[in-house]
Amino acid sequence: MADINDRKLRDASISEVLERIRAEEFPHIDREVVRELLRLHADPDDADDLDRAVDDLIFARTGD
């Protein structure tokens, strides 16, 4: 499990922290999904569009 005492993780950026957790605990999740989610929320314009965008992202990764 990702640990804050890990020297590498201590100075990691948000995306590096998330990637480390994904790789160790959720390898079945595509890393691009995490990145896309971060990108979507880094600059949200419209809450409704954001909900739809998140659903679309999940639909796309579950074979729909």
- Least Å from the CB of residue 33 to another protein: 7
State yes or no: residue 49 binds another protein (CB under 8 A).
no
Is 23 a binding residue for another protein by CB under 8 A? The answer is no
For residue 18, which of 59, 33, 7 has the smallest C-alpha distance?
33
What the block records as the tokens of 30 is 């595509």
Residues counted in the chain? 64
Task: Return d(Cα 13, Cα 61) in angstroms, integer.
Answer: 25
Residues at the contact surface with another protein, assessed by CB under 8 A: 2-4, 9-12, 14, 17-18, 21-22, 25-26, 28-29, 33-34, 37-38, 40-45, 50-51, 54-55, 58-59, 61-64
